[in-house]
Amino acid sequence: MRSRPAPPVPDHARNTLAATTAPIALITGASRGIGRLLAQKLGARGVTVVINYKKNADLAEESLADVRAAGGDGITVQADIEDPASLDAMFDLVRETYGRLDMFVANAAASAFKPVAQLKLHHLDRSYATNARSFVLGAQRAAELMDRGGRIVVVTSYGSLRAFPTYAALGAAKAMTESYMQYMAVEFGPRQITVNAVNGGLIDTDSLDYFYNAVPGMAPIDTVLSKVPLQRPGTADDMADAVDFLLSDKASYITGQILSVDGGLTVIAPPFWADTTAPLRDAVLPPVGAVDVDAAE
């Protein structure tokens, strides 16, 4: 893999070393979706946010503008986390710009959606590199910069816990990150660094839309949502709020844990309530076609 040169220090980030007492956070994949919302929430807490992006500099700048509008500050950094040299350059920039780091969120993810029998070597290599390896290498560099303790959170998904069509490469990589997370929690704990995971279910993002509408032959999303106890998808805000909590002082004694944000998806099993009929169905689910009086008003 070809290494890449270190990204240049943005003009607005020069001469800031030791100039800020605000907490410093680095979020991968923070130009859109969950990462962007999280960056904004951290900005509202006065955090200085390093917004990582892979390709779209304009979206990253918009995310940074959101952070500043919320009351925080930060910089944008282009880096391909699949490339260890690019990942290293990003952390070098954090060190050179701020000298420390307080929070690291491994949020970016990518993979191929195929049955196991159709996965090629490059599918396996890229899924591992982008999801698992980048988290381990990133956490190593982050911990080095957390000289006063810190928080590390990795965003995973329910494919690490349950098997469903075409998700093997990503689900297995996410399971690996959760296992590494627990080892890190033990080994980084003496340095007062907590390490946790937020495991998302069916979250209404571009990724969910792609999975259910672009993967050939995938089951319709409505047939899946009907099985979820809360009978709706989660939101990017739901995920960002969970990560924000684990990054806060309120979670200072929580480490090595997987926080599921899935509407109850991972606690159900067949036979599903959605597949039952009257009179059993009527004991739990509202009658088909029932009107929510409060909502109607």
- Tell me the torsion sign for CA atoms 82, 175, 242, 232: positive
Helix H or strand E encompassing 295:
helix 293-296
Rounded Cα distance between 153 and 159, Å, is: 18
Q: Note if 128 is an active site residue.
A: no
Rounded Cα distance between 270 and 34, Å, is: 30
Q: Note if 174 is an active site residue.
A: yes
C-alpha dihedral (125, 128, 129, 131), degrees to nearest 10: 150
* 190 phi, psi to nearest 5 deg: -60, -20
Q: Which of 53, 98, 167, 180 is catalytic?
A: 167
Label residue 59 exposed, middle or buried (CB < 10 Å: 0-12, 13-18, 19+).
middle
Q: What DSSP assignment string belongs to 110-178?
A: ------GGG--HHHHHHHIIIIIIHHHHHHHHHHHH-BTBEEEEEEEEGGGTS--TT-HHHHHHHHHHH
Q: Which two tokens stand for residue 164?
A: 């469903």
Q: Which of 41, 54, 158, 174 is catalytic?
A: 174
3-state secondary structure of 290: coil
Known catalytic residues are 167, 174
